[in-house]
Structure 1
């Protein structure tokens, strides 16, 4: 260990101020204290990821006393319940793997913190804690004490977190200014003009060029040196190592040329190289930001919520049309898309989306409800406090608790290439340098530098993320909303597709309904009010079919998945659901999909549904049957079997009377036989099957029910596009592999010119960002081209 540098933060230690502890040097008591904290809690692995990763903690005594104010804390919290508070804090100092590691192990430093997740790109940490065991102020003080002081703005907290880092812009500006002036000052030497004033002041101009090169070398290119140093310290050679080495070689060689009068050196090439590489980096960042914005903006849940108008009517509205002050109706199993105030007498909310724990929380009128909760039980009403936050809902959907482990072939390929790329590149560069040094010293340095620059695999690294990001954006526009990019590759591997029937291949809006039995108008009022709280496709269709009735408050509501509803209203027990559930003895006589009703254990009759299948169903299945094994799983009886047999390809397997657990078991069996299964369901009765499948797609049709286990949500009007989406996923993967080939071809051709001495470092610096632009343009064109294919 270098004893002149602080073991914790890496700053130089003055001899008089040096603090020795545990045979290590520290620059101040703060750094020593942080090390002691980590050491006492068995967290010294923090220093294994990177040498001197920490920051010196600042004195914050009294700075965060305002966090004792409950109103201020409530403003900062994302989620607030009795035993669970969640807060997202912006931490500017997050910069490396050590930072991530320690911030995701905060529970070891302070009791009361249950989990903490880092978003490295946004420099944010999301902390879940128990308010009775710790407080937000204590957490902030803990973070500050270990060198990770959060940024908190009370005036505009949301905007305060979005600090714009213009460092790269400044570096490009400096590099461009120096590059332009160096090129102007170098023109006389390019043309070897013999003129008195040039000969007289040649040395002055060379030293002026040297002075202009200094800011470029030390400031503009500093990021490459830091990255290369960290890479070498961690034992992993990243692509910045050869780039930094090439810049240093050019600088040293140029200094030697000027000092000994050999020439003006390569400062013009070096400045141009740094400028064009930084320009390429800016382009890459902007493309990522564009995709991130598009993804965030388009990734709202394509679900509807029922809004109660001022005149008492119930109308469906899209979630992004919800405004503050609106009154919403939330049914059983529906997701709360916004924060609001409970109007109904009481409610039971499941916040497993937010906390990962499926323990219902009882709420009473006037209590605050948080977005992401799921209503359990009878229908409730709430008033909206804030409009929907699309990014927040997407974040809940992407919770690690609900992620599937997907093998990403393209990522494996990229990782393998990256692992060996830099060592091989360095070997080629040194071998070529060793060969040319005995022939032409100047050319040897040119060759060495050009090789290090031209072979930069930035385009290779950008290929997969940009392609998949663009495909996610295009699929979102076509109303298929995927959870993340790996789902696209999983879709490309699918060989078996399993469909639910009711609400998936059938349309809830167009079913013909007939009633068989005897029921009074008073009993219909009760039935309609019970159905009001259910989100099952048949319940919703029947609710819309029955005539308008006065609203009656339910005493009890219980919906059993795959069976039916049990409710108590005005002292009467109402049972709605399958024949077996309501106790109908002549179940064998039923030939159609039916909803049965009994009141106070007296059978009243059943509503039969003559299903209208989705438009284009026959052609959709015919297209899919050419490439996939198809199965239809239904919880209904076999009444529709004959009709489906006529409609669907003869190889389609039809299974009826399937309970939710049987659907899950069927998919698991297919997977045991090596099948890659995509499940398409309604997200309510099929949650287990969606979770078990390799790809789970939930059909959304004017219903605010959503399963966290699904990998994608498809708007029901796009059902016939399923074959297109599967082909598009396969074409996306083809685009990635073809782009890999183009990128590697760039490197091979560039290296062949560089090794033979036919490529200057400046040209190599221009070619490098051009290769990135070429790849991005190619994948953009191809993904848009495939999107237009039917």
Structure 2
């Protein structure tokens, strides 16, 4: 009696190893089982029977990872203590794979965290480099059956391999389908003498031979998916397909064995060919949409570049070149890897590593993209151009963003599941009926029902509609984190606006100074302090003081929502609200003002008469018809009367709100079952943006990139916000129409299938055509609704 390996499921043969009352095919599988058992991970085997892969002998294979020049090219992040790498693992194939790879920290505490991207078969691992090397990590992965594929020339080849795989399967199925159809011609044309007397059996067995690789190679993914779904207690859309293929193959094989007929090999090979053709079209189209979003829709963020003459200019991040000298202000994100030149760097890498402890850096040390500067202004030299796709990955990292799951996607999954149950029930009832009415039609009816009613078109409607709109909105300079944000956007009923830097523009403002004149030394210290801040008022005031020089600060602190404090030599300066600079009397209380104190003596205030964004009244009047609107600002009520005259009467105003207060206000609205969209500048509003159902950061000419937001809106497109919301609502309408079209198609097809009027091969052709038609409909419809957007 042959025994199978408890870990990988392969036959043990003559090298059977017994351990802990279990059978293993080799010492490698036994070692993996021991690792899991000793680390309390035995429940891995509860997820799927024999889920592992045979560990391969990899001794010496990864010695090249001892070379630091090679590992630097592979690592995403390396600060000397923590390293991050994204590895392609070809063996990832099921939920148990995901489970064990995301629990690496239990196998080895040096692995801080790990995330699996099942679609791309990759795992992103953060690990302590002082406790385990990259080579040791790779060897451990190989030891438990998940050997990574590493190529320096083409590191991310996972998706290409998948594409080639489906092409191979499509080629085999197409070749078999064409030949089976050719061999079926004698029967089609009823060439009785020739067919029956001489070559009948030869042609039938040739058709069988062509169908075997088609079923067991080209169609194997449907069986694997259906099997895994059933083992997990799920009825996925591949269950009825796999059942239909099985019935066709078994019945056709039985017919030629017992000489009952020629079977349905033409229908069988045609079914698999057209199914794969539809899947190939789906993958290629969606890959195109993803490509456009990831690499062409650049975020409209900028960074300050210092030229050789010490002049500062704002450039877009993707214009950064190797060797450029960059100015990074307080709370600003580091866009590229570089070397620290000047300043005290205290960098928060939590967006990258998940570790919240800031890292102190000295001049000459390396800084990594994705870190946030927390201690004043620094200067750095870029080591390479920006990886915009890396910022996209950082922004989309689920670990550092609030889960705002779309209910609509769940609805799609729910429909697919119920639809599958209904299809199986209809197939069983129809077959039972024809078993008594006309047994010769039972097989055709059963298979036709399973094929024609596959809910593929339903499953495609949502991702293609939202994916295409995601791409189009990116071209319109409205950049969304993912497709589910569109669905949330369509549900919004309350819109909250920050004031400074959101409904006001940072580019123009009328600034007046009231108070005791500033000495030149105080003005220099003030400018140097403002230089480190990214707040809109600080940036405007900094430009006003352009004539003064820059002085190196000894200490700098920014108190969010309050102000700035800095020291240089024996002098101290405070900039911010009246309360922050300890000035009780506020003669300019009716205006937005920045107060100044030098060496604990109050000097005066800069009064800002804000310039509001173009089209602001029209935008609010347009939104007022459908939404509750509010202004939520940390400023005083100086311009409340002016705003009340300019904006709709139903707009509510809330001033003097600290960042925590904004967050609590939004939470309070959500507790009233409101779906809230918050629009801010991405700086002091990070908490509010994260709390809201949809957080939108306005980007003008500063680096306001923040993983806390769900969307980034170019400031020049601010007045078109109602059009973007309207487009999202229409997109949901398109999905509903797609559901209706799919339902009509399935009801019509089911009628002909149940009544025995539909041949399986016709059903196999119509099913992928319906999926393709849904994709074409959603693509054209989303293009049409966006064509009107300016």
1:629 aligns with 2:632: no
Task: Give the one of 299, 302, 318 matched to 1:301.
Answer: 299
> What is the 5 A alignment of 1:46-65?
46-65=44-63
Task: Give the one of 316, 321, 324 matched to 2:322.
Answer: 324
Q: Deviations over 1:270-291 (max 9, x none)?
A: 1111110110111111122112
Q: Which residue of 2 aligns with 1:539?
A: 538
Shift of 1:100: 0.4
Structure-2 separation of matches of 1:398 and 1:200: 65
- Greater Cα shift, 436-445 or 132-141: 436-445
Structure-1 separation of matches of 2:773 and 2:271: 18
Q: Which residue of 2 aligns with 1:558?
A: 557
When residues 589 and 322 of structure 1 are mapped into structure 2, their CA distance, relative to the original with a 3 A threshold, is closer
- Greater Cα shift, 124-133 or 403-412: 403-412
1:116 aligns with 2:79: no
> What is the 5 A alignment of 1:138-149?
138-149=136-147
Structure-1 separation of matches of 2:668 and 2:239: 49
1:667 aligns with 2:670: no
Shift of 1:473: 1.3
- Greater Cα shift, 191-200 or 411-420: 191-200
Residue 679 of structure 2 contacts residue 689 of structure 2 at CA under 8 Å; is this kept in 1? yes
Q: Which residue of 2 aligns with 1:39?
A: 37
1:712 aligns with 2:697: no
Q: Which residue of 2 aligns with 1:261?
A: 259
Shift of 1:630: 1.0
1:158 aligns with 2:118: no
When residues 378 and 589 of structure 1 are mapped into structure 2, their CA distance, relative to the original with a 3 A threshold, is closer
Q: Which residue of 1 aligns with 2:184?
A: 186
Q: Which residue of 1 aligns with 2:382?
A: 384
SS across alignment from 2:342: coil
Structure-2 separation of matches of 1:190 and 1:473: 48
Residue 571 of structure 2 contacts residue 599 of structure 2 at CA under 8 Å; is this kept in 1? yes
SS across alignment from 2:361: strand
Residue 299 of structure 1 contacts residue 391 of structure 1 at CA under 8 Å; is this kept in 2? no
When residues 142 and 411 of structure 1 are mapped into structure 2, their CA distance, relative to the original with a 3 A threshold, is same
Q: Which residue of 2 aligns with 1:249?
A: 247
Structure-2 separation of matches of 1:419 and 1:64: 44
Structure-2 separation of matches of 1:611 and 1:394: 33
Q: Deviations over 1:678-725 (max 9, x none)?
A: 111111111222222222111111111233221111111111112112
> What is the 5 A alignment of 1:683-722?
683-722=682-721
Q: Which residue of 1 aligns with 2:724?
A: 725
Residue 629 of structure 1 contacts residue 652 of structure 1 at CA under 8 Å; is this kept in 2? yes
SS across alignment from 2:360: strand
1:594 aligns with 2:586: no
1:413 aligns with 2:411: yes
SS across alignment from 2:336: coil
Q: Which residue of 2 aligns with 1:512?
A: 510
Shift of 1:590: 3.0
> What is the 5 A alignment of 1:185-224?
185-194=183-192, 196=194, 199-224=197-222
1:739 aligns with 2:734: no
SS across alignment from 1:608: strand
Q: Deviations over 1:487-506 (max 9, x none)?
A: 22222221111111111100
Q: Which residue of 2 aligns with 1:475?
A: 473
Shift of 1:22: 2.9
Residue 121 of structure 2 contacts residue 158 of structure 2 at CA under 8 Å; is this kept in 1? no
Structure-1 separation of matches of 2:84 and 2:384: 18
Q: Which runs of 5+ in 2 are unaligned?
A: none
Q: Deviations over 1:175-198 (max 9, x none)?
A: 111111221222221121355587
Shift of 1:235: 2.9
When residues 783 and 162 of structure 1 are mapped into structure 2, their CA distance, relative to the original with a 3 A threshold, is closer
Residue 16 of structure 2 contacts residue 24 of structure 2 at CA under 8 Å; is this kept in 1? yes
SS across alignment from 2:345: strand
When residues 284 and 479 of structure 1 are mapped into structure 2, their CA distance, relative to the original with a 3 A threshold, is same
Structure-2 separation of matches of 1:311 and 1:589: 39
Q: Which residue of 2 aligns with 1:750?
A: 749
Shift of 1:171: 1.2
Q: Which residue of 1 aligns with 2:781?
A: 782
- Greater Cα shift, 442-451 or 71-80: 71-80
Q: Which residue of 2 aligns with 1:135?
A: 133
Shift of 1:160: 5.7
1:4 aligns with 2:24: no
- Greater Cα shift, 416-425 or 609-618: 416-425
- Greater Cα shift, 710-719 or 414-423: 414-423
Structure-1 separation of matches of 2:307 and 2:159: 36
List, as ranges, runs of 4+ consecutive aligned residues in structure 1 with deviation greater than 4 Å: 159-163, 194-199
SS across alignment from 1:504: helix
Shift of 1:72: 3.4
> What is the 5 A alignment of 1:446-465?
446-465=444-463
Q: Deviations over 1:610-647 (max 9, x none)?
A: 11110000010111111111111222222211111110
SS across alignment from 2:184: helix
When residues 3 and 99 of structure 1 are mapped into structure 2, their CA distance, relative to the original with a 3 A threshold, is farther
Residue 116 of structure 2 contacts residue 123 of structure 2 at CA under 8 Å; is this kept in 1? yes
Q: Which residue of 1 aligns with 2:168?
A: 170
Q: Which residue of 2 aligns with 1:92?
A: 90
Task: Give the one of 20, 25, 35 matched to 1:27.
Answer: 25
Structure-1 separation of matches of 2:236 and 2:782: 29
SS across alignment from 1:638: coil
Shift of 1:598: 2.1
Shift of 1:236: 2.2
> What is the 5 A alignment of 1:757-772?
757-772=756-771
Q: Output the TM-score relative to the length of structure 1.
A: 0.96
Q: Which residue of 2 aligns with 1:656?
A: 655
Residue 299 of structure 1 contacts residue 390 of structure 1 at CA under 8 Å; is this kept in 2? no
Residue 188 of structure 1 contacts residue 198 of structure 1 at CA under 8 Å; is this kept in 2? no
Shift of 1:81: 2.1
Q: Which runs of 5+ in 1 are unaligned?
A: none
Residue 575 of structure 2 contacts residue 596 of structure 2 at CA under 8 Å; is this kept in 1? yes
Residue 325 of structure 2 contacts residue 380 of structure 2 at CA under 8 Å; is this kept in 1? yes
Task: Give the one of 428, 431, 434 matched to 1:433.
Answer: 431
Q: Which residue of 2 aligns with 1:286?
A: 284
SS across alignment from 1:305: strand
Structure-1 separation of matches of 2:780 and 2:211: 39
Shift of 1:439: 3.9
SS across alignment from 2:176: helix
Shift of 1:300: 3.5
Residue 344 of structure 2 contacts residue 375 of structure 2 at CA under 8 Å; is this kept in 1? no
Residue 622 of structure 1 contacts residue 649 of structure 1 at CA under 8 Å; is this kept in 2? yes
Shift of 1:588: 4.7
- Greater Cα shift, 139-148 or 79-88: 79-88
Q: Which residue of 2 aligns with 1:613?
A: 612
Structure-2 separation of matches of 1:385 and 1:91: 30
Q: Output the TM-score relative to the length of structure 2.
A: 0.96
- Greater Cα shift, 542-551 or 120-129: 542-551
Shift of 1:471: 1.8
SS across alignment from 1:215: helix
Shift of 1:652: 0.8
Alpha-carbon RMSD: 2.0
When residues 528 and 147 of structure 1 are mapped into structure 2, their CA distance, relative to the original with a 3 A threshold, is same
Residue 111 of structure 1 contacts residue 134 of structure 1 at CA under 8 Å; is this kept in 2? no
Structure-2 separation of matches of 1:350 and 1:407: 27
Structure-1 separation of matches of 2:3 and 2:564: 73
When residues 406 and 705 of structure 1 are mapped into structure 2, their CA distance, relative to the original with a 3 A threshold, is closer
Structure-1 separation of matches of 2:170 and 2:697: 46
Structure-1 separation of matches of 2:257 and 2:228: 31
SS across alignment from 1:343: strand
Structure-2 separation of matches of 1:233 and 1:662: 49
Shift of 1:522: 4.2
